[in-house]
Amino acid sequence: MHRWAGMFAAAVLAWGASGAAVAAQPSARQVRQLFEVMHLSQMFGQMNTQMAGVMSQAVPCVPASYWQGFIDAAGTEQLLDRMVPVYQQHFTAADVAGLLKFYKSALGQKVITQMPQTMAEGMQVGQQWGRERGEQMIRELQQKGTLDATGRCPASPAASGSAPPPAVAH
């Protein structure tokens, strides 16, 4: 019986190893090529500029130039180094090869250049829709009496700490 269990375990390990060979992990070099083709370093620079503007508004006593150094050249390399294993975990070598082929194409380059603006505009559309939908749902709840005119739960006797009015006998 133990012999069969051992053979079964060996077969499972061999099958797992052959499966791993089919879905080989991309090399760090291959992932770095993808980052280069995707212009991630430049994207980090753009993100840093946007973040510096936000932070200078949030903390007005600190100049935006201070925050501009948040993702400097060394920081970019550190961040890219940390991102390599993430890509290696989620993509096979074949996946990264396909992504490289796509992002090197004219359409892939267009996606890279247009995606930041597309996403920003999409977020604005989503925020506007969310506000409108939320207001609509609040109005519906107010009409049903679930919420009061201020959009809050109506005070209940238990919530206000007072006892209900006594019943009047007729």
- What span, in angstroms and rounded, lies between the C-alpha atoms of 123 and 120? 5
- Return the minimum-mean-pLDDT range out of 45-59, 88-102, 152-166: 152-166
Average pLDDT of the chain is: 83
> Using one digit for the tens of pLDDT, what is the confidence trace for 62-77?
888 888 888 888 889 9
Q: Contact, 70 vs 52, CB < 8 A? A: yes
Q: Is the pLDDT of residue 121 over 80?
A: yes
**What local confidence, expressed as pLDDT, does residue 84 receive?**
97
The predicted structure's pLDDT at residue 20: 47
Q: How far apart are CA 11 and CA 21, in angstroms?
A: 15
Question: Domain-by-domain residue ranges, the chain?
Answer: 26-115
Q: What confidence category does residue 81 fall into, taking pLDDT thresholds of 50, 70 and 90?
A: very high
Residue 122, pLDDT above cutoff 90: yes
Number of neighbouring beta carbons within 10 Å of residue 34: 20
Nearest to 93, CA basis, from 27, 170, 29, 139: 27
**Averaged over 145-167, what is the pLDDT?**
70
* Dist CA 148 CA 156 (whole Å): 12
Does residue 110 register a pLDDT over 80? yes
- Judged against a pLDDT cut of 70, whether residue 29 lies above it is answered with yes
What is the structure's pLDDT at 7?
47
Residue 159 has pLDDT above 60, yes or no: no
